[in-house]
Chains A and B, each alone.
Chain A
Amino acid sequence: MTNALSPPRTIRAIAVAWVLALVVVPVFALVLQSFAESPARFWHAVTGRAAWDALVLTFVTSAIAATVNALFGTMIAWVLVRRHLPGKRLLSALVDIPFAVPTLVTGVVLVALLGPQARIGQLLGDWGTPIVFARPGIVLAMLFISLPLVVRMVEPVLADLDPDEEDAAATLGASRWLIFRHVLLPAIVPAIIAGWLQAFARCIAEFGSIAALSGNIPGETLVASVHILGELEAGDATAAAAMSVVLLGVALALQPISRALVTRSGAHG
């Protein structure tokens, strides 16, 4: 049913054609390629030693990074909304910086700062806790790139909250901690979880920063995206496609949950 405000049919056709050609066809090709040989091949490409380890490593490091950022991101959002600081706008701009930095640059700079040729890196190596070319480095890169996602998810929800509720609770004698637990937290938990999910989905797909600072040892520091590139370079497009489909599937499966939480919390997606 079109009304006077609907765009003309041609416009609709153009939009559909563009999305079809640009998005649908390549993704379709990817999925088809992953099943190009046989379902058994797909299974093997995903559950083979190196592949499975890569998936597990990717999911675990992403979950850790998302969790840490859920904590600190919420704190930063709280500071941005509730605290009156000089330079708060600077902090807000800072939080957006990871959006502006190419991921490869993030990796290169982290290697320069914490790699074995830097003083800090040498110290870390001596203590037996290297960051670059080791798993902590992967988590660190993920922390950098996903922080804005959590902050920007929680911030608007916090801002929309009515402080009267908290004032009322305070007048009734509730401690700060109780206010936080029973008034503030329930209101922002959906947003925090949505932020976690977005951060997680972002991290599992990350390539540039991790490629620069991970050791690429299968089972140790090889993440899924780098593994996929390796499969492609080694001539196995089908295996690469299979892993890609799994990664994409996980990200897409989390989307509806995230969206539902976002609507519940009243924030923007």
Chain B
Amino acid sequence: MGSRSSRRRRPSGVGLTVAALLYAGFLIVLPLAALLLGVIENSGPTLRVLASSEAMGALSRTIGLTTTSLVINLVLGVLTAVVLVRDRFVGRDVLGWFTDLPLAMSPITIGLAFFVIVGRNGWLQPWLEPLDIKLVFSFPGMLLATLFVTFPFVVRETVLVLSEVGTSEEEAAATLGANPWQTFTLVTLPNILPGIAGGAALLVARALGEFGAVLVIGGAISGVTDTATTFVFHAVEERQLFAAYGMSMVLVALSVTAMSAFNAISGSLRR
């Protein structure tokens, strides 16, 4: 009797564990292992294709979009998060709702929304045309779409951390005579950095992998608006599987590295 109840206190659940591990293994590990193997087996031709100007151009555009979005949305994301948590005004909840909106939208829908505004027959065309500003089939247009897609991540993570942290330290700083800017940079910011870093991780991963929206708004023109993801898309169409798998591997590697780095920063800052 005693041994039975102590066995119950630590249920074994081996079957459950095995099932869970098998599921994760087959669903996630298998495809990635296949990708890795495919790239390693054909590393020679893969590297040659990746070194081509077309591949490098596409990759540089993706990195450009990612880093620019990161910088802009870090600043504006933190700013928005502060407003959402610390400020009170009519419409604040609506602001928060709109901030989350991009997460609910399909990438194609996002591309379409911008297309409707900046396309040749779009709303803003009467203003853009005389200024000779091209937002469709161009890098700036793709940047807009990427900014849209990645905006919620930093905001949400920062909001989470900011709400947790509370205002006691900042109140203390205020009583000691610090102005709002000092309070923010010296007290608030260090406290919320872990959240910001976490948001940055998600942002970078999302931006690197963006496909549908940049396809619609950019047109994936070789050498002009091709990104790493549309490069993979074209490579599959052109039967160039080395190029497709190679660039895929590069994207996954970049994404995993960036996410790990930011998450590590976030983790070490929390302690």
| A170 touches which of B5, B104, B210 (Cβ 8 Å) | B5
- Which positions 166-209 of chain A face chain B at CB distance < 8 Å? 167, 170-171, 173, 175-176, 179, 201, 204-208
Given contacts A22-B147, A247-B109, whether A241 and B116 have CB atoms under 8 Å apart is yes
Compute how far the CA of A248 lies from the CA of B97 in the bound complex, rounded to whole angstroms. 14
| A101 touches which of B38, B82, B255 (Cβ 8 Å) | B255
Closest-by-CB residue of A relative to B101 is A23
Contact code string A75-100 (vs B, CB < 8 Å = 1, else 0)? 11011001101000001001111111
Compute how far the CA of A79 lies from the CA of B208 in the bound complex, rounded to whole angstroms. 31
Compute how far the CA of A241 lies from the CA of B117 in the bound complex, rounded to whole angstroms. 12
- Are the CB atoms of A30 and B13 closer together than 8 Å? no
- Are the CB atoms of A205 and B23 closer together than 8 Å? no
Taking residues whose C-beta sits less than 8 angstroms from the other chain, chain B's interface range is 35 or more
| B20 touches which of A15, A72, A211 (Cβ 8 Å) | A72
Chain A residues contacting B233 (CB-CB under 8 Å) are 104
Compute how far the CA of A15 lies from the CA of B102 in the bound complex, rounded to whole angstroms. 16
Chain A residues contacting B147 (CB-CB under 8 Å) are 22
Chain B residues contacting A94 (CB-CB under 8 Å) are 24, 28-29
How distant is A99 from chain B, measured CB to nearest CB, in Å? 6
| A25 touches which of B83, B117, B212, B216 (Cβ 8 Å) | B117
Compute how far the CA of A240 lies from the CA of B115 in the bound complex, rounded to whole angstroms. 11
- Are the CB atoms of A102 and B88 closer together than 8 Å? no
Given contacts A205-B106, A225-B107, whether A104 and B211 have CB atoms under 8 Å apart is yes
- Are the CB atoms of A26 and B113 closer together than 8 Å? yes
Chain A residues contacting B156 (CB-CB under 8 Å) are 269
- Which positions 67-123 of chain B face chain A at CB distance < 8 Å? 76, 79-80, 82-84, 86-89, 91, 95, 98-102, 104-110, 112-117, 123
Chain B residues contacting A232 (CB-CB under 8 Å) are 108, 112, 115, 216
- Are the CB atoms of B112 and A75 closer together than 8 Å? no
| Most A Cβ at <10 Å: residue of B108, B112, B244, B259 | B108
| A102 touches which of B79, B101, B108, B251 (Cβ 8 Å) | B251
Chain B residues contacting A110 (CB-CB under 8 Å) are 31
How distant is A197 from chain B, measured CB to nearest CB, in Å? 11
| B105 touches which of A5, A229, A248 (Cβ 8 Å) | A248
Q: Is A252 an interface residue (CB 8 A)?
A: yes
- Are the CB atoms of B209 and A101 closer together than 8 Å? yes
Chain A residues contacting B89 (CB-CB under 8 Å) are 12
- Which positions 136-158 of chain B face chain A at CB distance < 8 Å? 144, 147-148, 151, 156
- Are the CB atoms of B112 and A207 closer together than 8 Å? no
Contact code string A32-46 (vs B, CB < 8 Å = 1, else 0)? 010000000000000
How distant is A45 from chain B, measured CB to nearest CB, in Å? 13
Compute how far the CA of A102 lies from the CA of B207 in the bound complex, rounded to whole angstroms. 9
Q: Is B47 an interface residue (CB 8 A)?
A: no
Q: Is B186 an interface residue (CB 8 A)?
A: no
| A91 touches which of B24, B27, B87, B95 (Cβ 8 Å) | B24
Given contacts A5-B167, A112-B245, A167-B9, whether A97 and B209 have CB atoms under 8 Å apart is no
| Most A Cβ at <10 Å: residue of B95, B102, B210 | B95
Given contacts A5-B170, A8-B180, A112-B38, whether A147 and B116 have CB atoms under 8 Å apart is no
- Are the CB atoms of A30 and B109 closer together than 8 Å? yes
24 A-B interface contacts by CB (under 8 A)? A1-B88, A7-B79, A15-B84, A19-B95, A27-B98, A29-B113, A29-B117, A29-B123, A76-B24, A78-B13, A79-B20, A102-B232, A102-B251, A105-B229, A109-B31, A109-B34, A113-B34, A170-B9, A176-B11, A205-B109, A225-B109, A226-B108, A248-B109, A252-B104
Task: For the complex of A and B, list the 10 residue pairs with the smallest distance between their C-beta atoms, beginning with the closest.
Answer: A102-B209, A205-B106, A26-B113, A244-B109, A251-B104, A30-B113, A207-B212, A75-B20, A100-B255, A15-B83
> A-contacting residues of B (Cβ < 8 Å)?
5, 8-9, 11, 13, 16-17, 19-21, 23-24, 27-32, 34-35, 38, 76, 79-80, 82-84, 86-89, 91, 95, 98-102, 104-110, 112-117, 123, 144, 147-148, 151, 156, 160, 167, 170-171, 174, 180, 183, 202, 205, 208-212, 216, 229, 232-233, 236, 241, 244-245, 248, 251-252, 255-256, 259
* Given A100-B255, A112-B34, A173-B5, 12 extra CB contacts under 8 A: A7-B79, A23-B101, A75-B23, A104-B233, A105-B209, A108-B244, A176-B11, A204-B106, A205-B106, A232-B115, A248-B104, A248-B109
